[in-house]
């Protein structure tokens, strides 16, 4: 199923139309396994936020804002859920704190663990572009709520 058909299905399940804002589709994580794990946490509402490098968001069309929606794709690039951003904050990597990581998956809610995971992940990405990771690299924290499928209707997705 493509993103357009998935959104039509979500609309049929009662998801209200967007009242402005942007819609983006993206995958979570860099491997099939990580993507599947993170997606399962979003679908069970154990993960209610995500992070992006500001540089990457700017390359993809600009920073996201509350009211924007993300269609998260599975490891095979098929749409699996729709979330709506309810809060966003741009900050330096080393300014991410417990308030930001509270919506992470259970294994990454501790700030030290979160920093270790994301420093390695983004460090590898930056290195592939000839850049170095540093503690002041700008990141975007994005808090969201799951719109579709709802956990009690996940068999429909």
154 in any annotated domain: no
Task: Identify the CATH number of the domain in which residue 25 sits.
Answer: 3.10.400.10
156 in any annotated domain: no
If one counts the domains in the chain, the total is 1
What are φ and ψ of residue 71, in 5° steps? -95, 115
What's residue 157's pLDDT? 47
Q: For residue 156, what pLDDT band results from cuts at 50, 70 and 90? A: very low
What's residue 135's pLDDT? 97
> Residue 53 sits in which domain range?
3-147
Question: For the sheet containing 79-92, what is the strand order?
Answer: 23-27, 69-73, 79-92, 138-148, 49-53
153 in any annotated domain: no
CA distance 23 to 67: 9
What's residue 153's pLDDT? 58
Distance of CA 27 to the CA centre of its chain: 8
Kindly state the average pLDDT of the residues 52-64. Answer: 92
3-state secondary structure of 8: helix
Residue 143 and residue 85 in contact, taking contact as beta carbons nearer than 8 Å: yes
CB atoms within 10 A of CB 136: 10
pLDDT digits over 83-134, tens only? Answer: 999 999 999 999 999 999 999 999 999 999 999 999 999 999 999 999 999 9
């Amino acid at each position: 199923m493509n993103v357009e058909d998935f959104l039509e299905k979500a609309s049929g399940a009662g998801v209200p139309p967007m009242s402005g804002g942007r819609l983006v589709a993206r995958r979570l994580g860099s491997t099939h396994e990580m993507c599947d794990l993170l997606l399962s946490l979003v679908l069970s509402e154990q993960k209610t936020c995500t992070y992006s490098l500001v540089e990457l968001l700017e390359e993809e069309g600009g920073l996201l804002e509350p009211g924007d929606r993300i269609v998260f794709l599975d490891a095979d690039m098929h749409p699996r859920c729709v979330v709506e951003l309810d809060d966003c904050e741009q900050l330096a990597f080393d300014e991410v704190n417990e308030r930001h990581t509270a919506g992470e998956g259970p294994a990454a809610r501790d700030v030290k663990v979160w920093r270790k995971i994301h420093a390695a992940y983004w460090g590898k990405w930056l290195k592939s572009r000839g850049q170095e990771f540093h503690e002041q690299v700008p990141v975007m924290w994005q808090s969201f709520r799951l719109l579709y499928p709802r956990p009690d209707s996940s068999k429909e997705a």
